[in-house]
């Protein structure tokens, strides 16, 4: 399963080893370099490219060249995908507490807001990996 920890491991590796803002490797060495199979690493790198963390060139011989973009360094500096998910969860929890404090003032509106927030929380729980 591709979760925050897996994405963080790959992102940290390419950022920490790219002082020149480039990182090159042979896809056959993915297991050795990242600890994951080439298909999984390729999928994660495609995702990183789609959200603007890297630019990549894939060559027929299996070589992959990555250009590490500034947002990748920023994300790593701020705790990666794991911190981003924790921040979102904490903000939703704070919002629920604030809504509860409004109940005496606007009971009918608060119930509607609670229903919406509960739906969001339930949806997020479906995508959050279970702790082992």
Q: For the segment 101-112, what is each residue's pLDDT rounded down to a tens digit?
A: 877 777 777 677
pLDDT at 121 over 80: no
The residue ranges of every structural domain in the chain are 4-77, 81-127
Which two tokens mark 115? 């229903």
Q: What is the pLDDT of residue 102?
A: 76
Instruction: List, for residues 41-71, the tens digit of each pLDDT value.
Output: 999 999 999 999 999 999 999 999 999 999 9
pLDDT confidence bin for 115, thresholds 50/70/90: confident
Residue 4 burial class via C-beta count within 10 angstroms: exposed 0-12, middle 13-18, buried 19 and up: middle
CATH 3.30.450.40 fits 4-77, yes or no: no
Q: What pTM did the predictor assign?
A: 0.76
Average pLDDT, the chain: 87
């Amino acid at each position: 399963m591709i979760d925050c920890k897996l994405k963080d491991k790959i992102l940290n590796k390419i950022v920490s080893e790219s002082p020149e803002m480039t990182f090159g490797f042979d896809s056959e060495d993915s297991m050795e370099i990242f600890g994951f199979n080439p298909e999984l690493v390729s999928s994660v790198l495609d995702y990183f490219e789609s959200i603007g963390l890297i630019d990549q060139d894939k060559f027929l011989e299996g070589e992959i060249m990555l250009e590490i973009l500034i947002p990748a360094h920023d994300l790593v500096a701020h705790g990666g995908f794991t911190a981003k998910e924790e921040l979102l969860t904490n903000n939703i929890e704070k919002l629920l507490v604030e809504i509860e404090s409004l109940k005496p003032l606007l009971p009918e509106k608060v119930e509607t807001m609670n229903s919406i927030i509960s739906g969001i929380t339930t949806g997020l729980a479906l995508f959050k990996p279970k702790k082992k």
